[in-house]
Amino acid sequence: MSDQNIAKKKAGEYAATLIEPGMTIGIGTGSTVYFFIQALAKKIQEGLIIKGVPTSKQTQELATELNIPLVDLNNVDQLDITVDGADEIDPQLQLIKGGGGALLQEKIVAAASKRMIVIADESKYVQTLGKFPLPVEVIDFGWKHTMKHLQQLGCERIVLRKKDDKIFVSDHGHYILDCYFQQIKDAAQLHHQINNIAGVAENGLFINIATSAVIAYKDGSIKEINKS
C-alpha cells in the first residue's frame, strides 16, 4: 500500500473510533471514506448498532455489501455526524469536494448533520483553496450557457467532466463542470455567486459545514483540527 493510502486508512480508522452506539451517521464517498466504511463495518460485526445515510450510489452499494444498516434521509430527523473526505481543506475548514462527483448528495447529507468530520491525508490540507479544480454540478439542459456565466466569475479554464470518453453523469443525472480558479480568495462569496447562476445544481465549496478535520501524515501522526 502506498504511503498516501496508509495515511487515508489511518484517518478512516480513526474516524470510526469516534462513532458511538445509537448514532445516525452520514457516510461519505471516496477512497478515504472507503477505509472508514471498512472499519465501521467491522465494528458493526462486533455488535455496534448504528444507522447510516449514504452520500452516493457507490457508498450505498459498498455499505449494503458490508451489511451496514441504511436509512432514507427523509426518515431521519437529524444525523448525529457525517464522516466524509475532501479534495482540499483550508485552515478554517472550508472545503472543496466533488472530485468523485458526489458533491450534491454529500452536501445535503452534511447539512442535515449536527457535525461533519472530514478525513484526509496531508496532501489535501492547503492554505488557500483553488488549486484543485472546483466541481460545479449543472443541469444538462443548456449547460454551455451555464458555463458562460461561470466563466464570468474569473476561472481561467472550465472542463466538462468526462469518464471513459463519455460525458460524466452524476448520481442525480447532472453534468459536472470542473472550474480551474487556481486561488479562491473569498470562498463564501464565490459559493454564493455560483449557486445564483441559473442551471447550477450545486458547487463543491463546503462553507461552514465541517466541524472538524482529521488529517493523517506520512510519519504516522494524526492531527485533529476543530472549528473554533
Ligand X SMILES: O=C[C@H](O)[C@H](O)[C@H](O)COP(=O)(O)O
- In the complex, the residues that contact ligand X under the rule CB under 6 A are 28-32, 84-87, 97-103, 106
Q: Which is nearer to ligand X, 1 or 77 (CB)?
A: 1
Give the Å distances, CA to CA, from 149 to 41, 138, 221. Answer: 44, 12, 43
Asked if 160 and 175 touch (Cβ cutoff 8 Å), the reply is yes
84 is in an annotated binding site: yes
Q: Which residue has its beta carbon closest to ligand X?
A: 30
Has 28 been labeled as part of a binding site? no
Helix (H) or strand (E) holding 83: strand 79-84
> Helix 33-45 to helix 3-17 angle, to the nearest 10 degrees?
40
Residues contacting residue 4 through CB under 8 Å, at least 6 positions apart: 121, 123, 218
Minimum distance, C-beta of residue 73 to ligand X, in the bound complex (Å): 17
Residues 6+ away with beta carbon under 8 Å from 182: 130, 131, 156
86 is in an annotated binding site: yes
* Closer residue to ligand X, CB minimum distance, 135 or 199: 135
CB of 167 to ligand X, least distance (A): 17
Nearer to ligand X, 145 or 163 (CB): 163
Q: Which of 13, 106, 137, 202 is catalytic?
A: 106
Give me the least distance between CB of 95 and ligand X, in Å please.
8
**57 appears as a binding residue in the annotation:** no
Work out how close the CB of 47 gets to ligand X at its nearest, in angstroms, rounded to a whole number: 28
CA distance 162 to 153: 23
106 is catalytic: yes
CB atoms within 10 A of CB 90: 18
Annotated binding site for substrate: 29-32, 84-87, 97-100, 124
| Residues with catalytic function | 106
